[in-house]
Amino acid sequence: MRKLYFKKYFILIFFFSTFTTAQNSVKKPLNVIWISCEDMGPILSSYDNKFINTPNIDRIATEGVKYTNAYSTVGVCAPSRFSIITGMYPVRLGAHNMRTGDHNNFKWPEEVKFRNDKGILDKSGKNVPDYEVVTPAYVKPFTEYLRKAGYYCVNDNKCDYQFNAPFTAWDDVYGNGSYMDAPDGKPFFYVKNYYTTHESRIWIRKNEPLTVSPKNVPVPDYFPDIPIVREAIARKYSNIEALDKEIGLLMEKFERDDVLENSIIFFWSDHGGNLLRQKRAVGDSGLHVPLIVRYPDGYRAGETDSRMVSLMDLGPTVMSILGIEPPSYMDGKAFAGFYKDDPRKYIFGSADRFDESTDMQRSVLDGRFVYIKNFMPELPLIYRNKYREKIPMNKELINLDKQGKLTGDESYIFMKTKPVEELYDLETDPYEINNLALDSNYTNVLFAMRKELQLWQKEVNDRGFIPESEIIKEFWPNMIQPITSEVIISRNDNEVHLICETKGASIGYQIGDSIGSIYWELYTKPIELEESKKIRARAIRIGYKASKFSTN
């Protein structure tokens, strides 16, 4: 305990001294900015990709710390973003299937609608309706810890958490929100999400000019080198360059608004690439992401950090940097700040139902080797999926495989059944097409990685073995969404207390002229309020239906 105390003490001194100059010069509190994007591996020019030009993201890397071993927990949006907002493994809490309902952006509780039959079956053949993941009572969106600490939290504009975002999680989550709306003297946490590199933009942006020539792009060994493939990769690269320009404009706005010198900027993607054997994959191609952290005052500028980082570490790290101790229940570990944790040795990933397609894969990565366990080896690696087949390249490759026209490495990902175990050496096989699981030279590596995966699955009580329909019944007994209890308002002279009997519920409130607006304060302690002023309150727990309004 003494060693831990002194470690934290000296880290506190170090961080305060590092930021003192910037803080004193502008006399403003430290802000945090997240710039997030979609469906992109670490293929930027700052990550040594010579076939793409991303000068604005490169600038952030030059002025910040570039992490080379950052990974998502799942190779697709919603489960990955669940892990980011909660700091928890999706498979631990039953949030691993993509996706649970129409929760992409914030909706008021009265606007949430659920489909009973959307044509999706789980692995037991039972219907999967829309639902919300119900987390344990102790789990909160990490932003509520920031709000409690006095931060103005703005999300512009994606949620996609596997549950409808609680109205208590953000000060502003309604789209086009600005950090400039933060009250004077109040620090902010601002999230700006860009869709430009999303899988869907391969076809949505098909008529936009290409800024990267198809003849110049590198073709992964698991694709045939044909025009339609080069065209898709060129579109992917051009979309990334378009994203870079958008980020350049955002950085210019930060400079005009005078927030750069007192803000920490995180840049990251929610999971790996957007083409076949990238998005939804459980190996390096699906989980590996770019992550750059830019501190004010030039702290660690230009450094490259090879420590293993999971995206679910982002929330705990923000809290740690701001001096807020992350709760012990989180699987996420702070990789910087006052409560910086020991580096991870392994990254664990999962793949289960994706839209109408069901599978079960688990993986463990250590920065060099990738181990994959296939729990449904009778299924093909590339299964049919209506959404991703909107990309012309994907559909064409599936047709070429049907016709038997793919051979050698380019046919590898179209295996009709999967081996129970896969092992890849990224140092010699970056495209993961040479399975070493049966190679006696790698037996020790195979055994070690297999053991780590088994230990992890046991530790998190992997929910992937349970049919999704059964998990839903656990969340919603009798298939009825639980309802948060109404808030009890009590006054003691000029002090107002708010109580909700639903364990784990968060309470939002409005006072006076703000009653009826879209903005809610987060209740954290008794409120000083004149007896003549009215107060309205409402409670919500993750996955529950919100309470009715209470007014006093």
Quick count: other Cβ atoms within 10 Å of Cβ 372?
26
Say which residue the tokens 């659920």 belong to: 114
d(Cα 64, Cα 435) in Å, to the nearest integer?
Answer: 36
Q: How far is CA 251 from CA 37, 98, 157, 195, 259, in A?
A: 15, 33, 18, 17, 10
Say which residue the tokens 């409808």 belong to: 164
Among 77, 153, 159, 500, which one carries the catalytic annotation?
77
Three-state SS at 365: strand
Give the per-residue SS3 of 301-352. CCEEEEEEEEHHHHHHHHHHHCCCCCCCCCCCCCCCCCCCCCCECCEEEEEC
Polymer length of the chain: 552
d(Cα 52, Cα 243) in Å, to the nearest integer?
Answer: 12
Quick count: other Cβ atoms within 10 Å of Cβ 340?
18
d(Cα 178, Cα 169) in Å, to the nearest integer?
Answer: 16
- CB-based contacts of 21, cutoff 8 Å, min separation 6: 297
User: What's the angle, vertex CA 389, arms to CA 388 and CA 394, rounded to 5?
Assistant: 100
**Helices 77-86 and 314-321, packing angle to 10 deg:** 30
Alpha-carbon Rg for the chain in angstroms: 24
* Residue 77 known to be catalytic: yes
Say which residue the tokens 């996420």 belong to: 332
Both structure tokens of 497 = 């207390």
> φ, ψ for residue 320 (rounded to 5)?
-60, -45
- Edge-to-edge, what's the strand order for the sheet holding 535-540? 521-522, 506-511, 535-540, 550-551
- CB-based contacts of 342, cutoff 8 Å, min separation 6: 333
Among 401, 98, 84, 436, smallest CA distance to 283 is for: 436
Quick count: other Cβ atoms within 10 Å of Cβ 102?
16
Both structure tokens of 264 = 């920490």
Say which residue the tokens 């701001």 belong to: 322
Q: Are 331 and 344 in contact (CB under 8 A)?
A: no
Active site (catalytic) residues: 77
